[in-house]
Structure 1
Amino acid sequence: MGKAELVLDVKAMLAEGPNWDAENSILQWVDIPAGRIHWYNPSDGSDKYHEIGQFLGAAVQDTRGKMILAAQHGFYRYDPDSRLLEPLADPESHMPSNRFNDGKCDRKGRFWAGTMHMNGDSPTGALYCLHPDLRMSKLLTGVSCSNGITWSPDQRLMYYIDSPTRQIAAFDFDVETGTITNSRTVVEIPSDEGIPDGMTSDMEGNLWVAQWGGWRVSCWNPSTGKRLAVIDVPAALVSSCTFGGSGLDELYITTARMGLDGEQLRKQPGAGGLYRYKAGVRGMPSNRFGD
């Protein structure tokens, strides 16, 4: 068991979607309700952001210097230099109470992102895959709160979280076609430990899962369903995590302060901050969108 340290006391409403840019040694993350993309530089502690004017669930880099966003009103391409926001696809324009939430790219440069009802309590969401040629596939329906997505080191399995189920599902994954089959539950989160949120995996194939309301990130072996470690976080609403640093052995953890009252915030002044834990294992790298 270990404890995460606060490295950026930014007091975000709902920090999410951390991605490590290995080329520039920058951690990119989003504040969902603020509609902000952040870039945190661990070398000097600086953090800058751009605001896009709508809820922002996830943001990934592409291979051409731009970014691909999963936002309140669909997929967009964003140019950080010109700040031009270009709509790409809005698969749920007929569902104004839905928005995109968590998302991540696979090794072939496809962007996987899911939706949820704004209240998070209705199974109206879905899981989508945006291909590098901008084709879009719908992979799952009946989702309540689409969250963590990650893959096994050999790319033969995809793991996925629909938070209210308190489960991590595994799918057989075809890396060439981007199809998923044979869903089964591999991990169940105890009911008194919050709900599973964002997730990443290490090079040993273990899953690192943020537990919203649980004050922790837990490491799980998906082959056995057993917990291997607990990382204490001094904030209740732990939202996501990813590996970063020069050795990809530092776990960056995002948290939230949304919905906390004054007394709760006094007990967790770092809520909404960015935390780091030296995990001692190497994580899988973040992928970019495109071929």
Structure 2
Amino acid sequence: MPLTLDSTPRCVLDLHATLGEGPVWSEREQALYFVDIREHKIHRFDPESGAHHSWPTPSEACFLLPVDDGTFLCGLRDGLHRFDPETGALSQHKAIEPERPDNRLNDGCVDLEGRLWFGTMDDNEAAPNGSIYCVRHKDYALDVTHHGEGYTVSNGPAISPDGRTLYVCDSPEQEIYAFDLSEDGTLSNRRVFAKLDHGYPDGVVTDSEGTVWCGTWGGGRISRFRADGSELPSIPMPCTNVTKVAFGGADHRTVFVTTARKGLEPDVLAREPHAGSLFALRTDVPGNRQATFRLSPG
């Protein structure tokens, strides 16, 4: 049965994920995928039927993004893997930072040119050992380039609707940064886009007007910022740890929200029975069509 939603967030999948993250809309399947990093799982939710399916992963599943051949690129702890939802099979394509065993991959996004952007982080969330990377398909292989370091918990990232700005968070610093993004994938002019004073910026995405939607860890809200960095009214959530949103549905006006139970004391969990679940709400301004990682030329 199709979801009936309004502007108030409603729990649509009572999952109790330890660290629900990385929601992404599959245009091909008209379904939502997301991960539970700590429980080593990939999840799929069909909003039309309410059906839910999950697959185990051999280590932390940090993000999942669609490829133009119907598979996904999955960031596990140690690198990039291809994931086939038809079989559940995972195959490694590229190791990332093997020299830093205390690091793991974190969040990612795909830009309008079909390139993958993702970050790494210190798994203990203490040392500024994380970096930002870009990946493209070149000469039948994944070509990885490094684009800056010094992040303790890299998060985001997100692309503006015109493809000219990349947003990246360093969560412990409570800051969202913006970069100019050139057509060839060069980053320049890093600046502070926004600084949160309540909670920590987690995953970010943009809508079709360029508004940045930010899951706010420890803040119990979705923070929102205009493209000029000025803050819009936030959207309160019924749980403390809000990780990321994704726009989906046929009109891209359904906002799916992942949350987490990680780090919450028993008394907080008692007050937040749906912490770690998947929520959804409706919005007037649509999101952007989900870009796919480009394998095919052109």
The TM-score with structure 1 as length reference comes to 0.95
How much has 1:259 moved relative to structure 2?
2.1
Structure 1 residue corresponding to 2:146, chosen from 126, 129, 138:
138
CA distance in 2, matches of 1:234, 1:218: 14
How much has 1:77 moved relative to structure 2?
1.3
How much has 1:17 moved relative to structure 2?
0.4
Partner of 2:195: 188
CA distance in 1, matches of 2:42, 2:293: 16
- Deviation per CA, 1:21-66: give whole Å up to 9, x if none: 1222101101111121111000111110111110011011111122
Partner of 2:156: 148
CA distance in 2, matches of 1:202, 1:194: 22
Structure 2 residue corresponding to 1:52, chosen from 52, 57, 65:
57
Q: Does 1:86 align with 2:91?
A: yes
Partner of 1:264: 268
How much has 1:99 moved relative to structure 2?
0.5
Partner of 1:115: 120
The TM-score with structure 2 as length reference comes to 0.93
Structure 2 residue corresponding to 1:170, chosen from 178, 184, 187:
178
Q: Which runs of 5+ in 2 are unaligned?
A: 1-6
Q: How does 1:195-206 map to 2 (within 5 A)?
A: 195-206=200-211
CA distance in 1, matches of 2:122, 2:234: 30
Partner of 2:10: 5
- Pairs aligned (count): 286
Segments of 4+ moved more than 6 angstroms: none
Tell me, yes or no, if the aligned pair for 2:213 and 2:224 is still in contact at 8 Å.
Answer: yes
Which one-letter code corresponds to 1:232 in the other structure?
P
Structure 1 residue corresponding to 2:288, chosen from 260, 284, 287:
284
Q: Which runs of 5+ in 1 are unaligned?
A: none
Q: % of aligned pairs identical?
A: 34
How much has 1:68 moved relative to structure 2?
0.8
CA distance in 1, matches of 2:167, 2:288: 14
Q: Does 1:244 align with 2:244?
A: no
Q: Does 1:274 align with 2:274?
A: no
Structure 2 residue corresponding to 1:127, chosen from 127, 132, 146:
132
Mean CA deviation greater in 202-211 or 149-158? 149-158
CA RMSD of aligned residues (A): 1.2
CA distance in 2, matches of 1:43, 1:67: 22
Which one-letter code corresponds to 1:195 in the other structure?
Y
CA distance in 2, matches of 1:169, 1:136: 21
CA distance in 1, matches of 2:37, 2:221: 20
Structure 2 residue corresponding to 1:71, chosen from 72, 76, 79:
76
- Deviation per CA, 1:61-106: give whole Å up to 9, x if none: 1111221111101111122233332211212111111100101111
The 3-state SS of whatever aligns with 1:141 is strand
Partner of 2:23: 18
Mean CA deviation greater in 76-85 or 131-140? 76-85
Structure 2 residue corresponding to 1:95, chosen from 90, 100, 118:
100
Structure 2 residue corresponding to 1:39, chosen from 18, 25, 44:
44
